[in-house]
Structure 1
Amino acid sequence: MHGAQLLLLVVGSIAVTAVARRRDLPAPLLLVVVGLAISFLPGADDYQLDPHILLGVVLPPLLYSASLDSSYLNFKAVAGPIVQLGVVLVVITAFLIGLAAHLLMPSLPWEVALLLGAVVAPPDAVAAVAIGRKLGLPRSAMTVLTGESLVNDASALTLYKVALAGVAGASTGLFSQLSTFVVAVVVGIAVGLVIGVVAHFARTHLDDTVLESVLGLVVPFACYLIAEEFEGSGVLAVVAAGLYLGHNSPKAGFATRLQEQSVWTTVDVLLESLVFGLIGLELPFVLRGVSGLDPWLTALALLAAVIVIRIVFVFSRHVILRLLRRPRPSWRVVAIVSWTGMRGVVTLAAAAGIPDWTPGWAYLQLVAFVITVGTLLLQGISLPWLIRGLGVHEEKDTAQEAQARKVAAKAAKAMLSELVPADIPVEQRKMFSQRMHAMMQARDRIIEQDPSQEGAITRVRREMLARQREVLVAERSAGRLDDEVMRKVMRELDLEEAMLTGTWRSRL
C-alpha cells in the first residue's frame, strides 16, 4: 500500500467512524461493512494485512490502552472466569476446530489443521466491549470480557507459534511445548512488570507532562519487543505493564492522568478505525486463491463450530457452578458472554503470518477471513438486540459515588481543621474551620476582591485535593470503593485542580 493510499485509508476510516459515532452505531462493524463494499469496486487493490505491522505496531498500543483503563482489583476478583475463557477455552477451541477442519478436509495435515485452530481461537473483544459499554452491560461482565481479550491473545499466539513450528518440521515433545508456554508467560509478565516499575518511577519524577506522554507511548512497544526478544509473550508484557501503571496512576500527577486519557483515547480511535477498515479490504486477496463452493461451505461450517463451542463452554461452566453451589452470574449475563466471541485483528494477523508454502494455505486464509467477518457481523449486529431483549443493565453506582464524594469532602474538612491553631478552644476551632471551608467555596469571589489572596487560597485548595485523593485510594485499597468509581471521582478532582492552576494546558 502506497503512501497516498494509506492516507486515503486513514482519512476514510476516520470519516466512517465519525458517521458511526454520530449515528450511535458500532464503528468497528460499520468499518468492516464499508471495507467489504469498497473491495467489490472495480480496480480495488489485492491487499494483504502485514502481520508484523499488526502484531508489532497496532496490537501493543491497543492492549496497553485497554490495560490502563482496566481495574487490577476487579481483574483479580474475576481471575477464574478470565483464565477459563482466555486460556482454557482458547486451547479447547484450537483443538476442536483443528479436528473439525481435518475431518472436513482429510487432505489437510493434522499439524496444519491445528495451526488453523490456533489462528481462529482468540476472540477480539473490541467490538463486544464497545457495544456492551454503550448499552450498559454489568461491570462484572465487562471486566470478564476485557480481561479475556487481554489474556487470550497471549495464549493463542503462543499456541500458534508451537503449531507453526510443527508445520515447519521443528515440532518437539509435549514437555518442550509446555515449557515453551510457561517460559513465554513468566518472561512476558516479568518484562512487563520491570518496565512498568521503571516507567512509573520516571513519570513520578519527570514533572513534565509532554515527556511523560512520550514515555507512555513508548512503553507498549518496548514491552512487546523486549519480551519477544527473550522468548516471552509480548502481549502479556504489555498487559502486565498496563495493569501496573493503571493501578498506580493515582500516584502520578493530575496533569499526567488527564493528558494520558486524552492521548490514549485518540490513539484507540485511530488504530481501531484503521484496523477494522483493513479487515474488509482484504477480501480480494482471500478470493485470489480459492475456487469452487466446497471451501466456502467448509469455512461456514467452521464458523458455526466456533460460535457453538463458545456457547457450550460458557453454559457448561455455568451449570457446573450451579451444581457446586458456587457464586455465578445470572443466565442472562451468561447468554450475552457466550455470544461475544467476535474475532478480529489477531486472527487475521496470525493467518497472514502463515508461510505461503504451507499445505492448504489459501484455504486457511479463507477460513480465517470468513470466521472473522462472520462473527463480527453476525454476533456484532445481533448483540445489541440480545442485550436489550434480555433486559440486562449496568448496576448503578450512585450510592457508592455519593459515599466516595462524602468521604472525600470529610477528608477536606479534616485537613482544614488541622490548619487551626491547637490552642484555640473547641467551639472557636469549629467556627474557624467552617469559615475556612466557606472561603474555599467562595475562592473566585475572594480573589476577585483581593487578588493577593490567590496564591494562599489555591495552595490550600490543592492540599485539600491531594488529601481527598489519598482517602479515595485508601478506600479502594480497603475494598470499600470500586476502582472505576474511584477513577471517576478522582477525575473530577483532577479537572478541578487543572482549573485552579491553569498550568498543565500550557505544557501541551
Structure 2
Amino acid sequence: MDVDLIFVMAGAVAVAGIARWRGWPAPLVVTGVALLVSFLPFVPNIDIDGELLLTATLPPLLYSAALDASFTSFKQALPHVRRLGIGLVAVNAAVIGFIAYHLMPEIGVAGALLLGAIVGPPDAVSAAAIGRKLGLPRRVMTVLSGESLINDATSLTIVRVFAAVAAGATVTVWQGLWEFVLAVGVGVIIGILPGMLLHQLRTRLDDPTVTGTLSLLMPFGVYILAEHLHGSGVLAVVAMGFYVGYHSPRTSYSQRQHDKPLWHSVDFILESFVFAYVGLQLPSVIRTVTSARGSDTLVLAGVVLLAVIVIRPIFVFGSYEWGQFWQKVKLRRWKHAVEAYQIDPTSRAARPVVIKKRRNARLPVAPTKQAIKRRVLEPTLSWQERLVVSWSGMRGVVTLALAVALPDLTEHAMPGGHVADLVAVAYIVTVGTLLLQGLTLPLLIRGLKVTSSADIASDNREIARMRTAAGEAGIEYLREQQQSWVEKYGVESVDAFNRFSRGLLRIEKGSDQGERDLDSVTQKIAVGGIGRITYDDLHELSRGWLAVRRRVAFEQCRAGNLSEEVMREVFAAIDAEELVLDTKGSLRKE
C-alpha cells in the first residue's frame, strides 16, 4: 500500500508538471489522467483513512494560502468574504440539503444537510491559478482567496455537527450555534499563540532550515490541538498563517527566500495527489452506488451539481446589493451624527468612521473622502467582476477530503450504506465543476475583459512614491556614513565613498552605470589602492543601504501608502539584491 501511494504521488506530480508546462489547468488534467488510468486492469484500488487524509492535506494547504494572503486586503474585503465564506456555505447547506432530502429521503435530514455542507465550499486553488495567469484585479483575487480561507472553517464545523447527528447524537440548534462560536474562538486563540512563538523563533534563529522545518510541522500540531479542544483546526491554521505572514518582513531575507519555494512545493505535491486520488476512486465509487441503487445517485449528483452552479451567482449578486444598501444606511447615519453633533462620533451610532478631534477643540473634524473610502466603503465590484466571482465556484481539495473522511466522521453509523451515496455525489460535483467552470472561466475572463490594468497603474504610482521616500532616507543615511568614514579613514576616502554612493543611487533608479561604479571602487580596494578601506566596509555600507530601503517600504505599507502586495514585491527585489551581495562576498573570501 505504501509503495502504491508513492507511485500515485510520483505520477500525479509528473502529470501536473507537464500540465503547468503546457499552461493547462493542472487539477483538471491530473483528475482526468487518473480517471483513465483507473480503468487499467493492473491498477490496484487504493483506500486511505479519511481522517488521515483530512489531517494530512488541510493544515499545510491552508497555512500556505494564509501566508501568501494580504491581511490588510483581507480586512478591507471582509464584508465580501464574510458573506461568501459564511453566508453562502450556510445557504448551500440548507438549499442542497432540502433538494437532496426530497430526491432521496432515505438519507435523512442530517445526511442531506451533511451533503450540502460538504459540497458547499469552493476551492480557490484553480480559480486563483487562472486569475493570476490572466491578470484578474487584486480585489477579485482577495475576495476569492479570503472566501476559501473562511468557508473551509464554516463547512467543516457544519459537517461535524451533522455528522454527529447522522451518527446518532442529539444536537439542538443552540448546541450547533455554540459549537460554531466555540470553534471560532478556540481556533483563533490556538492559532495566534503558536504563531507568535513561531515568529519569535524565525526572527531569533538565523537558520532557515530549522525554522522552515518547524513551519512545516506546526500547522499539523495546531490543527490537531484545536480539534482536540473542540475548536476549528482550519481557523487555527489560518490565524497562525496570517500572523506569521503579516510579520514576515521582520525576518531575515534568507528566511523569506527559503519559505516561498518550500510552500509552493508542498502545495504542488498535496494538490496533485488529492486530485489524482479522486480520479482513481471515482469509477469504483460510482459502480458501488449504481449497483445498489441504480441511477438514483447519479440523478441526485446531477441536480446537486446544477444547484451549486446556480445558487452561487444568485447569492453573489443578491448579497452584494444587500451590502451596498446597508453601506448607504451607515453612511447616512454617519453623516447625520457629524452634522447634528448630538451623538459621540466615536460611538457605535456614528460608525463606521471614527472621527478624530482637533487638539483642544470640542467639535469633531469631518474625515476626508479617502478616509471614508478606506474605513467605510467595502471594495466595489463591477457586474463583470461579480460574474467572474460567481463562476469561480470550482470545488476542490476540501470537498474531496471531507468526502473521503465521511465514513469516519459519521462513525459508519448512517443506515443502508448511504455514506457511499454522499461520497459519490461529492466526487461528481467536484469533477463536474472543474470541467464546466474550470474550462470556461478563462473564456469568461477574456470575454468580459476583467483585467488588473488599474492595479498596475496604482502599483506603479505607489512604487514611485516609495522610491522617492527611500531615496531621501537613503541620502540621509549616506551622509551619516560619509561623516563616519571621514573620521575613520580620513579625507582621502571621500572620493571613493561618493563614487560608491552614486552607484547605489543609480542602481535604485535602474541605471546600469551603478554597477560599473560599484565595480570600479571594489577593484581599486582589491589591489589596495584606497588606504585602509576594505571590501567588508563596502559590504556593510551596501547592507545598510538595503536595510534603509526595506524600512521605508515597511513604514509606507503600515501607513497605508503602499499595498501589502506591492511591499512584498519590493522586499523580494531587495532580498535578491542582498543575496547577490552575500554571494559576491563569499566568493571573495574563498
1:315 aligned to which of 298, 314, 317: 317
Correspondence 1:447 to 2:447 = no
2:471 aligned to which of 409, 414, 437: 409
3-state SS, counterpart of residue 106 of structure 2: coil
Query: Residues 313 and 439 of structure 1: is their aligned pair in 2 closer, same or farther, counting only changes over 3 Å?
Result: closer
Q: In the alignment, what sits opposite 2:216? A: 217
Per-residue deviation, 1:275: 1.6
8 Å CA contact 2:182–2:231 kept in 1: the answer is yes
Q: In the aligned structure 2, how far is the partner of 1:354 from the partner of 1:212?
A: 34
Q: In the alignment, what sits opposite 2:401? A: 349
Per-residue deviation, 1:31: 0.8
Q: In the alignment, what sits opposite 1:438? A: 502
Per-residue deviation, 1:207: 1.2
The residue type paired with residue 522 of structure 2 is I
Correspondence 1:376 to 2:434 = yes
3-state SS, counterpart of residue 282 of structure 1: helix
Stretch deviating more after TM superposition (175-184 or 447-456): 447-456
Q: In the alignment, what sits opposite 1:45? A: 44
8 Å CA contact 1:151–1:236 kept in 2: the answer is yes
8 Å CA contact 1:404–1:489 kept in 2: the answer is no
8 Å CA contact 2:556–2:562 kept in 1: the answer is yes
The residue type paired with residue 298 of structure 2 is W
Normalising by structure 2, report the TM-score.
0.81
Query: Residues 333 and 369 of structure 1: is their aligned pair in 2 closer, same or farther, counting only changes over 3 Å?
Result: same
1:501 aligned to which of 582, 585, 588: 582
Give ranges in structure 1 of 5+ residues lacking alignment: 425-429
Q: Residues 20-67 of structure 1, C-alpha deviation per residue, up to 9 Å, x if partnerless?
A: 122111111111111111122234333345322322111111111111
The residue type paired with residue 418 of structure 1 is E
8 Å CA contact 1:443–1:457 kept in 2: the answer is no
8 Å CA contact 2:53–2:405 kept in 1: the answer is no
Per-residue deviation, 1:432: 9.7
8 Å CA contact 1:49–1:348 kept in 2: the answer is no
Per-residue deviation, 1:484: 0.7
Q: Residues 49-93 of structure 1, C-alpha deviation per residue, up to 9 Å, x if partnerless?
A: 532232211111111111111111111011111111111111111
Q: In the aligned structure 2, how far is the partner of 1:44 from the partner of 1:96?
A: 38
Q: In the aligned structure 1, how far is the partner of 2:537 from the partner of 2:480?
A: 16
Q: In the alignment, what sits opposite 1:144? A: 143
Q: Residues 270-328 of structure 1, C-alpha deviation per residue, up to 9 Å, x if partnerless?
A: 21221221121111331242122222112101110111111110011233345555663
The residue type paired with residue 354 of structure 1 is L
Query: Residues 214 and 444 of structure 1: is their aligned pair in 2 closer, same or farther, counting only changes over 3 Å?
Result: farther
Query: Residues 369 and 447 of structure 1: is their aligned pair in 2 closer, same or farther, counting only changes over 3 Å?
Result: same
8 Å CA contact 2:124–2:144 kept in 1: the answer is yes
The residue type paired with residue 502 of structure 2 is A
Q: In the aligned structure 1, how far is the partner of 2:581 from the partner of 2:471?
A: 17
Q: In the alignment, what sits opposite 2:419? A: 361
Q: In the alignment, what sits opposite 1:427? A: none
Stretch deviating more after TM superposition (328-337 or 290-299): 290-299
Q: In the aligned structure 1, how far is the partner of 2:495 from the partner of 2:469?
A: 21
Per-residue deviation, 1:439: 5.3
Over aligned residues, Cα RMSD in angstroms? 2.4
Q: In the alignment, what sits opposite 1:65? A: 64
Q: In the alignment, what sits opposite 1:118? A: 117
The residue type paired with residue 460 of structure 2 is T
8 Å CA contact 1:65–1:242 kept in 2: the answer is yes
The residue type paired with residue 385 of structure 2 is V
Q: In the aligned structure 2, how far is the partner of 1:127 from the partner of 1:165?
A: 31
Stretch deviating more after TM superposition (11-20 or 247-256): 11-20
The residue type paired with residue 247 of structure 2 is N
Superposition pairs for residues 334-345 of structure 1, below 5 Å? Answer: 334-345=386-397
3-state SS, counterpart of residue 123 of structure 1: coil
3-state SS, counterpart of residue 368 of structure 1: helix
Q: Residues 188-224 of structure 1, C-alpha deviation per residue, up to 9 Å, x if partnerless?
A: 1101100000001111111112112112112211211
Q: In the alignment, what sits opposite 1:207? A: 206
1:330 aligned to which of 363, 368, 382: 382
Q: Residues 374-409 of structure 1, C-alpha deviation per residue, up to 9 Å, x if partnerless?
A: 111111111111101111001212222333333333
2:550 aligned to which of 444, 450, 469: 469
Counting matched residue pairs gives 502
Correspondence 1:18 to 2:17 = yes
Q: In the aligned structure 1, how far is the partner of 2:585 from the partner of 2:43?
A: 46
Q: Residues 392-439 of structure 1, C-alpha deviation per residue, up to 9 Å, x if partnerless?
A: 0012122223333333333222211222439x9xxxxx9998545125
Correspondence 1:481 to 2:556 = no
Q: In the aligned structure 2, how far is the partner of 1:119 from the partner of 1:504?
A: 54
Q: In the aligned structure 2, how far is the partner of 1:42 from the partner of 1:264?
A: 36
8 Å CA contact 2:27–2:271 kept in 1: the answer is yes
8 Å CA contact 1:446–1:453 kept in 2: the answer is no
8 Å CA contact 1:119–1:156 kept in 2: the answer is yes
Q: In the alignment, what sits opposite 2:234? A: 235
8 Å CA contact 2:89–2:155 kept in 1: the answer is yes
Q: In the aligned structure 2, how far is the partner of 1:343 from the partner of 1:113?
A: 18
3-state SS, counterpart of residue 107 of structure 2: coil
8 Å CA contact 2:4–2:46 kept in 1: the answer is no
Q: In the aligned structure 1, how far is the partner of 2:321 from the partner of 2:495?
A: 61
Per-residue deviation, 1:454: 1.1
Per-residue deviation, 1:445: 2.6
Q: In the aligned structure 2, how far is the partner of 1:432 from the partner of 1:449?
A: 9
Per-residue deviation, 1:267: 1.4
3-state SS, counterpart of residue 342 of structure 1: coil
Q: In the aligned structure 2, how far is the partner of 1:196 from the partner of 1:89?
A: 29
Q: In the alignment, what sits opposite 1:387? A: 445
The residue type paired with residue 469 of structure 2 is V
3-state SS, counterpart of residue 483 of structure 2: coil
Q: In the aligned structure 2, how far is the partner of 1:262 from the partner of 1:345?
A: 21
8 Å CA contact 2:131–2:141 kept in 1: the answer is yes
Q: In the alignment, what sits opposite 2:79? A: 80
Q: In the aligned structure 2, how far is the partner of 1:330 from the partner of 1:48?
A: 45
Query: Residues 457 and 433 of structure 1: is their aligned pair in 2 closer, same or farther, counting only changes over 3 Å?
Result: closer
Q: In the aligned structure 2, how far is the partner of 1:421 from the partner of 1:287?
A: 78
Q: In the aligned structure 2, how far is the partner of 1:499 from the partner of 1:284?
A: 52
Determine which structure has more spread, i.e. the larger CA radius of gyration.
Answer: 2
Q: In the aligned structure 2, how far is the partner of 1:155 from the partner of 1:398?
A: 38
Stretch deviating more after TM superposition (433-442 or 473-482): 433-442
Per-residue deviation, 1:504: 11
8 Å CA contact 1:32–1:276 kept in 2: the answer is yes
Sequence identity (%)? 43
Q: Residues 123-155 of structure 1, C-alpha deviation per residue, up to 9 Å, x if partnerless?
A: 111111111111111100101111111111111
3-state SS, counterpart of residue 395 of structure 2: coil
Normalising by structure 1, report the TM-score.
0.94
Stretch deviating more after TM superposition (155-164 or 349-358): 349-358
The residue type paired with residue 340 of structure 1 is S
Q: In the alignment, what sits opposite 2:197? A: 198
